[in-house]
C-alpha cells in the first residue's frame, strides 16, 4: 500500500529531477535541451498533478494484491466476437488515426503481435482530445488482446506541449483491465528518461510484480533487434535521428543482425529463414520442410482441442534453443517436449522468417484491395485468381497449411479457433509489405485469409495453371500431402 511518506518522496524526486539525472545522461542532453522535452515544465506539472491522484492510487493499492490473486477463465468466443462486433458502428476514429500515433508492426520473434506507440506523433495538448485518443487506443488493442502481444513505446518526442496529464495516465491504467494486461508479454520502453522511471515508481504500488517483469528499458534501437523484426517497425524519423545522436555520443555502433537472429552463417541443415525454392531443392523436391511436417503431426495429435491454440506464446529461451537445434539438424521430439504452444509458435515463426512471405511481395497490393469487392462470390473468385500467380512451391506450402488449419477449424467448438480467429493470427504471417507493416492493411489481410480458410474446398478443389510443366516424380511427397487430382 502507498503511504503519504512514499508519495512525498516521489514528489521530491520530481522536484529534484535534474539533480538525480545520471551523469552520462547529463552529458547526452547538454547543449540540446529541446531534444526530448522541457524537463522543468514536466517536473512542475507532474508535481502538481501527483497531489490530485495520490489518494486514488493509495486506495487502489489496497486491493491490488487481492485482485492479482484472482483467476479468470478466458472466454475466447465471448470476448473476441467477430470483427463487426469489435468495430464501433458510428465511429472509425479516423481523426485520431490520421496522426499515426498507434500502428501495427507484424509479429515479433516469438510469434506475438506488435503494437507501436510513438510519443513524438502526439499533437498539441491544447487541441488534442486525449479521452478520445484513449478510446481509440482501446478500440485498436481490442483487435489483438486475445492473442499474446507486445507493446513498443517510443518515448522520444514527448514534450510539455503534447504530454497527456498524469490524471489521464491514471485513467488509462484503470481502463486497461486484466483483459488487456493478461496477454501483454512485453512492454518495450525505448529511450527512457528519469521522467519515465519516476512515473513507474509512482504507479508501482498498484502494479503487480508479474506485470513489472514484462517491462523492458531499451536505451538504443539496435537492442530491439534481438526481439523484433526490425525492418517491420515503423520508427519515426525523429526517433531514428535521436538514437543516432545517442549512439554517436556514447561511441557505440549497432551490431549487424542476420535473418536467423542467433547466427550469421547459413547451415546446410537450416530450415528457418531459407527461401522456399532452396528448401524444396534440399528436401528432394518437397517444398514443405521436415519441421512443418513434424509440427503439424504433433499438433494434430495433441493440439486440436487446446483452447486458444496459436494465440499463446512460449518461453523465449525455449523458442530460441529449439529453433537452434532444428537448424543445426538435431532431432527435436515435440511429443517428448510436450509443449503445444512451443510447436504452434515455431509454426508461425517459420512463416514469418521466410525471406519473402508465402503469398509473395508481388501479390501484396492485390491482396489489400480485396475489401473493395462487395460480393462474397466475387471475393472467392478473386482469391482463386491470385493464387494462380503463385510459384508452385508457394502454392504447395499454402495448401498444406490451409489443409491443416481446416482440422483446427473442425474443432473450433472446443478450441475456439474459427476461421475468423485463425485469420487474425495467420494473416500477418502469410503476407506483409516489403517496406513496413501498416495497421490499415490488417483488415484486408485478415479478410483475405478468412476467405482462404472458410472457402478452402472451393478455392483449392479446382485449380489449373496451363503454364506449369508436368509434375516430376520429385514432387510425389508434395502430392501425397497437399495436392488433389483436380488441379491437374
Instruction: Please give the average per-residue pLDDT across 366-389, as a whole number.
Output: 89
Cα 220 vs. chain centroid, distance in angstroms?
20
Cell digits for 283? 528436401
pLDDT at 16: 44
pLDDT at 479: 39
Instruction: Please give the average per-residue pLDDT across 228-235, as a whole number.
Output: 83
Polymer length in residues for the chain:
488
* Alpha-carbon span 481 to 31, nearest angstrom: 65
* Alpha-carbon span 164 to 45, nearest angstrom: 10
Cα 338 vs. chain centroid, distance in angstroms?
25
How does pLDDT run across 202-225, given as a tens digit for each residue?
A: 777 667 777 778 888 888 898 888
* Alpha-carbon span 321 to 113, nearest angstrom: 21
> What are residue 300's phi and psi, to 5 degrees?
-60, -35
Confidence of residue 297 (pLDDT cuts 50, 70, 90): very high
- Count CB neighbours of 251 within 10 A: 6
* Alpha-carbon span 133 to 480, nearest angstrom: 52
* Alpha-carbon span 291 to 314, nearest angstrom: 17
* Alpha-carbon span 300 to 293, nearest angstrom: 11
Nearest alpha carbon to residue 276 among 258, 288, 291: 288
pLDDT at 200: 74
pTM of the model as a whole: 0.58
Q: What is the chain's mean pLDDT, rounded?
A: 76
Instruction: Identify whether the C-beta of residue 183 lies closer than 8 Å to the C-beta of residue 347.
Output: no
State the first-to-last Cα distance of the chain, in angstroms, to the nearest integer: 70
Instruction: Please give the average per-residue pLDDT across 403-411, as a whole number.
Output: 96
Q: How far is CA 442 from CA 69, 143, 256, 332, 421, in A?
A: 35, 10, 29, 34, 13
**Beta bridge pairs of residue 215:** 187
Instruction: Please give the average per-residue pLDDT across 275-296, as a whole number.
Output: 91
Q: Is the pLDDT assigned to residue 264 strictly greater than 70?
A: no
Mean pLDDT lowest among 108-122, 262-276, 339-353, 366-380: 262-276
Confidence of residue 256 (pLDDT cuts 50, 70, 90): very low
* Alpha-carbon span 313 to 311, nearest angstrom: 7
Instruction: Please give the average per-residue pLDDT across 347-366, as a whole number.
Output: 93
* Alpha-carbon span 210 to 68, nearest angstrom: 9
How does pLDDT run across 140-199, given as a tens digit for each residue?
A: 888 888 888 899 999 999 888 888 887 888 788 778 878 888 888 889 999 988 777 777
Nearest alpha carbon to residue 369 among 441, 454, 430: 441
How does pLDDT run across 14-23, given as a tens digit for each residue?
A: 444 434 333 3
Q: Is the pLDDT assigned to residue 252 strictly greater than 60?
A: no
Instruction: Identify whether the C-beta of residue 380 lies closer than 8 Å to the C-beta of residue 448.
Output: no
Instruction: Please give the average per-residue pLDDT across 230-246, as a whole number.
Output: 87
How does pLDDT run across 123-151, given as a tens digit for each residue?
A: 998 899 999 999 999 988 888 888 888 99
pLDDT at 132: 92
Q: Does residue 197 come out as left (phi exceeding 0), alpha (psi in the -120 to 50 range) or beta?
A: alpha
* Alpha-carbon span 143 to 160, nearest angstrom: 31
Helix (H, G, I), strand (E, B) or coil at 133: helix
* Alpha-carbon span 128 to 57, nearest angstrom: 26
Amino acid at each position: 500500500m502507498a503511504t503519504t511518506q512514499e508519495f512525498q518522496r516521489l514528489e521530491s524526486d520530481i522536484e529534484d529531477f535534474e539533480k538525480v539525472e545520471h551523469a552520462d545522461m547529463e552529458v547526452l542532453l547538454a547543449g540540446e535541451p529541446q531534444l526530448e522535452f522541457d524537463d522543468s515544465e514536466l517536473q512542475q506539472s507532474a508535481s502538481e498533478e501527483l497531489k490530485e491522484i495520490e489518494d486514488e492510487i493509495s486506495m487502489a493499492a489496497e486491493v491490488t494484491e487481492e485482485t492479482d490473486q484472482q483467476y479468470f477463465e478466458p472466454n475466447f468466443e465471448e470476448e473476441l466476437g467477430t470483427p463487426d462486433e469489435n468495430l464501433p458502428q458510428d465511429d472509425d476514429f479516423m481523426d485520431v488515426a490520421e496522426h499515426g500515433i498507434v500502428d501495427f508492426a507484424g509479429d515479433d520473434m516469438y510469434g506475438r503481435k506488435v503494437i507501436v506507440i510513438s510519443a513524438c506523433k502526439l499533437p498539441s495538448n491544447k487541441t488534442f482530445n486525449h479521452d478520445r485518443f484513449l478510446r481509440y487506443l482501446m478500440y485498436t488493442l481490442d483487435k489483438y488482446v486475445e492473442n499474446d502481444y507486445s507493446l513498443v513505446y517510443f518515448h522520444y518526442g514527448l514534450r510539455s506541449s503534447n504530454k497527456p496529464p498524469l490524471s489521464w495516465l491514471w485513467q488509462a491504467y484503470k481502463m486497461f483491465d486484466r483483459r488487456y494486461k493478461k496477454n501483454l508479454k512485453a512492454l518495450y520502453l525505448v529511450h527512457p528518461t528519469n521522467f519515465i522511471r519516476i512515473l513507474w515508481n509512482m504507479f508501482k504500488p498498484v502494479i503487480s510484480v508479474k506485470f513489472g517483469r514484462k517491462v523492458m528499458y531499451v536505451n538504443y534501437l539496435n537492442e530491439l533487434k534481438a526481439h523484433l523484426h526490425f525492418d517491420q517497425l515503423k520508427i519515426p524519423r525523429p526517433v531514428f535521428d535521436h538514437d543516432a545522436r545517442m549512439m554517436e555520443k556514447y561511441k557505440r555502433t549497432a551490431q549487424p543482425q542476420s535473418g536467423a537472429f542467433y547466427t550469421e552463417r547459413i547451415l546446410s541443415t537450416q530450415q528457418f529463414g531459407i527461401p522456399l525454392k532452396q528448401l524444396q531443392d534440399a528436401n528432394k523436391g518437397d517444398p514443405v520442410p521436415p519441421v512443418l511436417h513434424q509440427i503439424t503431426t504433433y499438433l494434430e495429435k495433441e493440439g486440436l482441442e487446446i483452447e486458444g491454440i496459436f494465440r499463446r506464446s512460449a518461453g523465449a529461451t525455449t523458442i530460441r534453443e529449439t529453433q537452434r537445434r532444428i537448424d543445426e539438424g538435431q532431432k527435436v521430439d515435440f511429443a517428448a517436449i510436450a509443449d503445444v504452444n512451443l510447436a504452434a509458435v515455431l509454426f508461425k515463426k517459420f512463416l514469418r522468417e521466410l525471406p519473402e512471405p508465402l503469398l509473395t511481395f508481388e501479390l501484396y497490393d492485390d491482396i489489400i484491395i480485396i475489401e473493395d469487392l462487395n460480393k462474397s462470390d466475387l471475393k472467392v473468385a478473386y482469391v482463386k485468381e491470385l493464387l494462380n500467380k503463385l510459384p508452385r512451391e508457394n502454392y504447395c506450402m499454402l495448401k498444406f497449411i490451409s489443409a491443416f488449419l481446416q482440422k483446427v477449424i473442425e474443432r473450433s467448438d472446443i478450441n475456439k479457433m474459427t476461421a475468423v480467429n485463425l485469420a487474425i493470427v495467420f494473416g500477418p504471417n502469410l503476407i506483409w509489405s516489403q517496406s513496413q507493416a501498416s495497421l490499415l492493411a490488417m483488415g484486408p489481410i485478415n479478410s483475405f485469409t478468412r476467405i482462404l480458410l472458410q472457402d478452402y474446398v472451393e478455392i483449392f478443389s479446382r485449380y489449373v495453371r496451363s503454364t506449369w510443366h508436368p509434375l516430376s516424380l520429385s514432387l510425389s511427397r508434395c502430392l501425397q500431402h497437399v495436392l488433389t487430382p483436380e488441379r491437374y
